[in-house]
Chain A
Amino acid sequence: MKSYLDLTIKEIHEALVNGKTNPLELTKEAIKRAKENNDNAFEMIIEEDAIKRAEELSKLPVPKDNYFFGIPYVAKDNYSTKGYETTASSNILNGYVPVFDATVIKLLNDAGAILIGKTTLDELAMGGTGTSGHKGVTFNPYDKSHTRLVGGSSAGSATAVSDAIVPFALGSDTGDSVRKPASYAGLVGFKPTWGLISRFGLFPFAPSLDHVAYFTRSVFDSALATELLAKHDENDSTSSYKERDNYLSYSSDVKGKKIAVINGIINSIEDKEVIDAFNKTLAYLEKNGAKVEYIDVDINLLRAIYPTYMIISCAEATSNDANLDGIKFGPNYGGKTYSEVMFNARTKGFSALIKRRFVIGSYALMRENQEEVFLRAQKARHFIVNTFNKIFEKFDAIYVPAAPSIAPLINKTSENFNEDFMIADNWMAVGNFGGYPSITLPIGFENDMPLGGNLFAKPFDEVNLFGIASKIEEGTGLINLNYPEYASKKEGK
């Protein structure tokens, strides 16, 4: 260990309580690492204010029951942060400075967590590669030759936690935007039940699918964040009124737990090492008393997941991003009429990729197409969710690999469009269709690149989900996985 910053939130907290470190020391180290990092994870490093806040907190006693006190963190640049430019990695928002904090930012800051930076993403969170933001490609920490992506859209947040710059990062997840990069970067990536955590201040992409989500380096840390952030919020009309659980009350006892493995997803994965790593974790669960069952789901349903996601998300985005017009905020390039002002701002502000997605969304919503395209996709979503809800009537969780491979090469991201690969590469969007809690965690390595597994449970069943995940974590021993430590251990061998 080089610094207490290398530890999990739980361990850093213990060190803070015991006076072995302080918020200022941690924050200075985090900022130093952020500045030295060359994986292109940051839109902005917040130095002066973070140091000032850390100095204030260092003078206070450390509250024993507040795990986030003095913990440096980063947020994806689609969270409103009062006083700090927030662009969602899109040129259309260059210079936009929010005048309020997102609810989750406020909860973290009020707890004494210290925001040290805003991180890169695929433009407006619409993408899964971490290559389309206005700052260019964000790289995978495990590949210092910079040939592999870290995944997206929450690219910079994944890199920052994986590179041990911070132990916690906010991301957002509309299709798998936290859970997929978590797999590629060897992290725990968690998306809660839809409505559990307020989205107030998170830039909307597709609100029926959007979730606050986050990266940590242990299952326990993920539960800690949920304990802090899962609060009802009057500012978010979709915020659930359901009473919150004690998310730290989970048990890793999996005896009698019924776990479903979906054949169609497993069969769509060609990489034997992914399957081997997955099977090892499955065997560990079984050894500890879990009942594993392989089940069939109609292959046509699995093949329809990606198209359904694409149509719904593009259509919702087309409508949501209509407010980006260069008038209320964002660069204004002038024009003779108000519509010309908007036309110029949007033509110059959006990248070609985003524009194409908007046109796809617009096509889906055209009066002549709505029934056959948009509404049919919404029906498919319903059909898929009904099918998965039925699975959860019999099982405590669904467990499958989070991705069909290690992190792909940057220039090969869009080459594999065969239908089977598409199933394994996109199935996690079901978690967004049905609002299911879902967690990715590391399960092994292939050629020194991490592999991840993913668990789903029924809505509001986070405690059960954390329990099963913690058992898998116990089996793999891959807790607090981060690249610097992995590299130094490898060198030591």
Chain B
Amino acid sequence: MKPVNKDVLKDAANRLLFDMKDEEYDTLLKEFGAIQHQLELIGNIEGVDSVEPMTFPFDVSITYLREDEPIEPLSRDEVLKNAHDVKDGQIKLPKVVG
């Protein structure tokens, strides 16, 4: 496992596209002490690695083809209603290429 220090946590936060105050990284570092212990608790289950990872409570796989009927989706105007900056029916962002 990757060792945890403030730089690793800051890198993780920045990759998630946010930053925290310096003292919040200290709090988080302390919390990771408890998390390491919690990971040990998971490891204490005898035979835990003998089962497959579970992604959903039970199997819900359904194979079917839906009817080929037209449906009314949300209109473009509605979809864009909550965007901060809209131009020509599209969301406007800072230029990527000069």
Contacts and interface: CB of A to CB of B under 8 A. Distances in A.
Contacts of B7: none
B89 interface: no
Interface string A377-397: 111111101100000000000
A336 interface: yes
B81 interface: yes
A307 B39 contact: yes
A97 B48 contact: no
A100 interface: yes
Contacts of A112: none
B24 A383 contact: no
A306 interface: yes
A383 B51 contact: yes
Interface string B40-65: 01111111110111111110101000
Interface residues of A, number: 76
Interface in B57-83: 57-58, 60, 62, 66, 74, 78-79, 81-83
Contacts, number: 177
Contacts of B31: 356, 360
A326 B60 contact: no
Nearest to A375: B53
A346 B79 contact: no
Interface string B1-43: 1101000110011011111110010011001101100110111
A366 B24 CA distance: 21
B88 interface: no
A346 B17 contact: yes
B55 A378 contact: yes
A326 B84 contact: yes
A99 B41 CA distance: 44
A377 B16 contact: no
B27 to A, nearest CB: 7
A432 B62 CA distance: 21
B54 A379 contact: yes
Contacts of B2: 363, 366, 368-369
Interface stretch (A16-24, A174-182, A337-345): A337-345
Contacts of A95: 82
Contacts of B55: 208, 378
Contacts of B32: 360, 363
A326 B18 CA distance: 12
A301 B45 contact: yes
A234 interface: yes
B1 A356 contact: no
Contact of B84 (A332, A337, A417): A332
A96 B51 contact: no
Given A240-B60, A377-B42, A417 B18 contact: no
A363 B4 contact: yes
Contact of A337 (B12, B44, B47, B96): B96
Nearest to B51: A382
A376 B51 CA distance: 10
A363 B10 CA distance: 11
B72 to A, nearest CB: 11
A385 B38 contact: no
Given A310-B38, A376-B49, A383-B48, A238 B58 contact: no
16 contacts: A97-B82, A194-B56, A298-B46, A326-B84, A328-B91, A329-B83, A332-B84, A338-B96, A352-B24, A355-B20, A359-B16, A363-B2, A363-B9, A377-B42, A378-B53, A381-B53
Given A328-B91, A356-B28, A369-B2, 10 more contacts: A99-B78, A194-B56, A307-B38, A311-B39, A356-B20, A358-B16, A369-B1, A376-B43, A379-B52, A379-B54
